[in-house]
Structure formats: C-alpha cells, structure tokens
Structure 1
C-alpha cells in the first residue's frame, strides 16, 4: 500500500499521468531548466555535445531540437545552433573561432553591430579586424595574411545592397585555409544555398522571415562540418546562450508559411522598386534584381529570389531634412529597423558615416516591403513625396 501524500507534496508529485495517443500538428512546447534522469547511470551517460539526449534546459529540449533540425533542412546543413539574437549568433562565431593574434576580414557593408564587435575585439582582445570592398571577389586573396582565420561575407549588404561574388570569395579563402561565414539573413536560406556556393558557416537572424511577426529575437548558426560544429557548440555552452521555448514555438509555427510570405514580399518589393526607378526624385534603386544594382550579375547567377528589402538614393538636390520629412510623412511605412514582418518599414541612413568611399551624394532610404497591397504602398510613397518635396 503506497504512502498517502500530503497535499503540499501531491502538488509537486501528482499521481496523474495523461493518457497516451494525443497527436496534433503543432510541436509541443517543452519548458525546462532541470532535466530529470531515470537514474545516476543515465545522468552520467549523457552529454550536452550530442543532440541525441537531454542534459539541461540551456542545451535544448525537444522543442528547440526540432527547430534546429528544420532550419538545417532548409539550409541543407548537418548542424544548427540557436542563439538569443542574430548578433548573439555572430558573437558565437567570433568568440568561438578567434583568439589573440588572429585576423578577421569583414566587408565594408557588413551589418553594423558585427563591425562594432570586430572593433571591440581589435581594441580589447588583440584580434585584428580589417574591412574589404564587398565587390572584390577573387581579389580578396591579396588581403589574406598568414594569421587570417575568418572571412565574413554578407549577401547582399543589408543597407547598400551590393551582391558579392560568394563562390570567388570562398575559393580564395579556402585556398589559404581561411573559414568563411556568411550572413544569409536576407534570403532566409530560401533564395541562396550558401553551402553549395562555398560557405563554411551560415548565420541567420531568425527575427526576420522565419518569425514573420516582428515579435521574436533569435539567431541561428548552421554548418555541415562536424568538427566545426563541435567548436561552435563549445562556445555556445561556455557563453550560456539559451533561447526561450515559447519563442522557439513561435518560429516553428511560422516556418510552414515562410516560402509563401517570402515570395509575396519579393513580388511586392520588385513592383515598388520598378515604380521608384521611374520616379524623378530617385536617382538609384539598390535592388539586387534590378540590372544597375552592384552585383546584379552575381544575384542573377546565384539567387532564386529577393525578398522584401531594398534601398533607394534620392536626387542630391534634396537635403537630409527633406528626405527625413518624406519618411516622417509616410503612413503605411513605419519607421523602424529589421524586416521580414507583415508591416512595411522605412529607415533613412547617413551612409557617409557608415562606408568608406561611398559613391553617392544623395540621401539613402531603405524600404522593407511588408504584406500590404503594393498599390496602397505606392500611394503612400507618392503622397509623402508630394508633402516633402513640393
């Protein structure tokens, strides 16, 4: 006869077990800090380094393992690590692979916080960080030093939109035993198979199209190499980069619709970019699918889509105050960073403070085209232009 439990104990050790046989489409949300083991032998036999068992919530639950597996399927990778943000994933690469005395190369159009991190590593940790022309292609070979360990790429640049020659960059780097990490957030792994073009590590900000709701911060690192995955996994453990399972669930829920949403963003953005190209207020439309965007030939050769993000250069006769007024006058386009959500966004940038030898004199404004009717977005832009430039 089992001993009767007190109510206080019963609330933590219930005798109830839910019946088996329940099945549904959503992936269950498994919350855990503590993982319970059947016995001491089971506890001692498990390792956080292998994704075939569970040790502690920080290292994953069935919910996060499922998201990692599905992201790996999209990118055709073998391994995936989740991080609290895209920048956290970038930090895992830099801190996991670089040490004092090493050198890292970054494109001049690199994501701003990645540049800031590189400057911090150079200033405080003895790791040299150098910027290169994103369109240098095979010419990167001349910049690789004996201590160069890592080459960052971004396709395209998230503000200035150049599309680099990724295969040429990777070939030159690999010839000198340099690893290549690519920020593949713009294509979400849908429009650019980065590993097939030579990348060793793929970074994605899941905050964008994978979430689709502008309500989740998360990043991912993907690899095909077992040893490289273990090295990044060790940094992941040492830095304690766990993610919340509710956020993981939100991304899992959004993944099935991601290709449909990405295509809708793409079609609407091309519609707007083509319309803007004909406007007298605009001198340049920086959209990779348009022929005059730097690296268009690379995009046409290597990519199968474009998503919703692009930039424009206003005619130099319009001042910063005027283009700021244009942005302020928009109603459907909200002012805010990021992209990939259903709402359209718009941000003006001071490119002279961000880029070396920036060739344009007009003001740059970046558009994220959401899921609104593109004709309504065009009307919003036209009305804002009339207010700002009349």
Structure 2
C-alpha cells in the first residue's frame, strides 16, 4: 500500500491489557464494525455495543456508570448542559395539552423554557409554593404529567419537604423530576428518600455536571439519571432524536475530577457555613439563607433528610448561601458592595475553585414575595476553595466601603 493509505489502514493494534488510574479517551463519530451482520444487529440502547459516537463510547459509558454510583441511579444520559438535561426530560414526557408544575423558587431557565417553547407547543405550566406540600397536591390535576422539584431552591435556598412531595407525586401517579445539582448525589440520595416500610424517591434526577462533578468552572455538561428502565428508554429515544451528545475531552475532565468530589464538596460546605454564620452577625443583612442555619426556611427538612446517619456528623450542604440586604441600602449600594469585592468575582454558576457573587432582583423572579423571606435586595454567594479567613476579610472590607 502507498504511504497515505498505510497511515490510515496501518495494521498495528496495541495490546488489549492496559490499566491506569484514568480511563482512556475515545474520540469517535464513526465506529467500525467487523462485518455487515454486526452492523445490522448491534444494539446501542442497552450499552451492549457501539454503533456511533453520538450513542456512546467507552469513555462516556464509564462516566454514565460512575454518575449512577454517585446518585444511586441505574441508568444515565449525558447532555451538553444542566439546562439541556431539563429540556431532555420535558421534551420526552410532555405533549400538547399536558401540564408541568414547577416550584416558584426553581432554577430560572426551567421557567423560561416553560414560558417559551413549551408554551408555544401547547404545554401549560403552573408554579407551586415549594414550602407547602398541600399547595402542590391541590395543583396536580388531570393534565399534570410532570412535577419538578428542587432542593435547595435556586437563589433563595429554601429546603422543601422533599419526602412528602415525592409521596404526593407517587400517590397521584405523576412523574417527579428533581434538579439535584445542589445535593450533587452527596447531601442525600434522591432515589432513596423513604424507609423500608415506605420506599420513596424521585423518578428522575437531573444534574448540572458543570458544577461539582467538573469542579473547575471549565466544563458544560448535564446528566439525566433514572432507576426505571422503561422511563430511561423513553428519555434515551428523545435524547437520540435530538442529537444530544458530549465531547470526549469534556467527559475526560469530569472523569478526572469525579474522585475528589466528596472532598471538594465538604470543603465548599464548611467554608460556606463559616461565612454564612459570620454574616448573621452583620446588621446590614436582614436575613441569611443557608439550609444548615436553624432559622433558614426549611432547615428542619434539610436536617431530617441530609443528616440521616444517626447524627454522627453534620448533614451535608452545598457551598452556597444568600443574604438579603436590609432595605435601607438601595440597589445602587448593593451593586457597589458587589463591585468592591476582590476575591468574590461577579459571575454565574458555582462549584468551582473561585468564589462568585451575583445580586438578584428577587421580585422579578417570583410570582409573589414569600412570607418567609425578608424584604430587600438578595445577594447569592458561591464559596470556592480560597482560605475562608481571606474570604471573610473580603466581605468585611466591601461592607465598609458600601454597606456601612
């Protein structure tokens, strides 16, 4: 054969037996079959073989299985972002005439999707009070096909009675889907919320792998995890028809970060609690929101669910907390405080090594101002991996400049 052909069809193949701490990175669109029979008979739906890069490679299959181990699921789909995971669920389960219920404190783009494409396709939605299971029960109707849950709530970090809400969904025969990004599979097991006598759990867990599984602030990816094979297949067929896929290099990055997720989560958690407790003593803040604080909305639900090991150690929580600035400081002063921060950088997302801060106009994000929240401008902090005393000093100096 000539040189160009030999470069493409060279017969050498490395030995099969090779083991290392990190799995190999397989980059493929085309997958080679040994013969026509294999091409016609190989199945992609159950991971028994490879057919095309979009349907999985050894690299993506390994990450899917490890994420199942992390979250307690049995089947996993990888998608390009956390929002793509939410969209994959909605587009798999909802058709014109159906209704989806979303907690009023949910991740904003979930509501935006419902107000945009889902509405245009004849799918309606309503929000419910995440702190009132009775409100959820009352709003589940004959057209309700999907209920979204979130623990803790986006931005305001209320922790709902997740056990009771899954009980309600199961009793009414409605699929429950949890945005599990905050818990990350570490704070609690979303598929095992009940007891031996009353097994309860969500039907679907979606996770923005962008956050703690990646840990570097440099990857966009999401996952959809289930325990029900039939439900997983329904989600997977939509996943296939939409052409959703993730890159091998991004998959490698998450695989490399995943072994340290528990250590990093614990470090983020400890630092966030220290700073949230410190903020409670500052009179510029009317309220501090963190599920582990005794007076934070839903603390009892957090303690019951996230401290189920008999109390031998504190329950886990993500490295997020929010403050509501006293109304005597207007939005301009709040913005000046955020601008004065040196270590906390202005930026969305969380779970990476760098601490972040975002001010929010909460009134525009909720259907009504919740009675359990103080009035004022809200600031959410994502605590990174810097030394906690440096972060506390940063908060203190910014307060002197703008909130004194």
2:280 is the counterpart of 1:277: yes
Matches of 1:50 and 1:372, distance apart in 2: 43
Alignment of 1:43-122 (within 5 A): 43-122=39-118
Aligned length: 386
Contact 1:265 1:371 in 2 (8 A): yes
Gaps of 5+ in 1: none
Task: Give secondary structure in 1 for the equivalent of 2:8.
Answer: coil
Q: What's the counterpart of residue 155 of structure 1?
A: 151
| Among candidates 356, 366, 372, match of residue 380 of structure 2 | 366
Q: Alignment RMSD, CA only?
A: 1.0
Looking at structure 2, the residues matched to 135 and 101 of structure 1 have their Cα atoms a distance apart, in angstroms, of 27
CA–CA separation in structure 1 for the residues paired with 2:261 and 2:85: 21
1:131 alignment counterpart: 127
User: Alpha-carbon deviation of 1:122?
Assistant: 4.5
| Offset of residue 18 of structure 1 | 2.4
Query: What is the distance in 2 between the residues matched to 1:35 and 1:97?
Result: 30
Q: Check conservation: 2:64, 2:77, Cα contact below 8 A.
A: yes
Which residue number corresponds to residue 316 of structure 1? 327
Matched, 1:386 2:400: yes
Correspondence for 1:178 among 168, 174, 177: 174
Q: Deviations over 1:283-313 (max 9, x none)?
A: 1100000011111110000013002011011
Assess if the C-alpha contact under 8 Å between 2:78 and 2:246 holds in 1: yes
**Aligned twin of 1:345:** 356
Comparing 42-51 with 141-150, which one deviates more in the overlay? 42-51
Aligned to 2:160: 164
Rounded to whole Å, the distance in 2 between the matches of 1:122 and 1:74 is 31
Task: Tell me the SS of whatever aligns to 1:285.
Answer: strand
Asked whether 1:204 is paired with 2:207, we answer yes
Q: Determine the structure 2 residue equivalent to 1:287.
A: 290
User: 8 Å contact 1:308–1:370 — kept in the other structure?
Assistant: yes
TM superposition score normalised by structure 1: 0.97
Measured in 1, the distance between the counterparts of 2:32 and 2:13 equals 16
- Aligned-pair distance for 1:20? 4.3
Match for residue 143 of structure 1?
139
What TM-score do the two structures reach when normalised by structure 2?
0.94
CA distance in 2, matches of 1:329, 1:148: 46
Alpha-carbon contact 2:72-2:190 (below 8 Å) kept:
no
Match of 1:37 in 2: 33
**Matches of 1:172 and 1:138 in 2, distance apart?**
9
Is this contact kept in 1: 2:129–2:135, CA < 8 A? no
- CA deviation digits over 1:136-172, x for unaligned, max 9? 1244211111111000010011201111111111111
- Rounded Cα–Cα distance in structure 2 between residues aligned with 1:223 and 1:177: 16
TM-superposed CA distance for 1:76, in Å, is: 1.2
Q: Confirm or deny: 8 A CA contact 1:121 1:128 kept in the other structure.
A: no
Tell me the equivalent position of 1:325: 336
Give the stretch that moved more between structures: 139-148 or 313-322. Answer: 139-148
CA distance in 2, matches of 1:111, 1:143: 20
The whole-number CA distance in structure 2 between the counterparts of 1:17 and 1:36 is: 14
Partner residue of 1:12 out of 8, 11, 24: 8
In the alignment, what sits opposite 2:262?
259
Name the structure 2 match of 1:233: 236
Is residue 2:365 matched to residue 1:354?
yes
Instruction: Supply the distance in 2 between the matched residues of 1:127 and 1:174 (Cα, whole angstroms).
Output: 22
Distance 2:125 2:382 in 1: 30
Structure 2 residue runs of 5 or longer lacking an equivalent are 194-200, 307-314
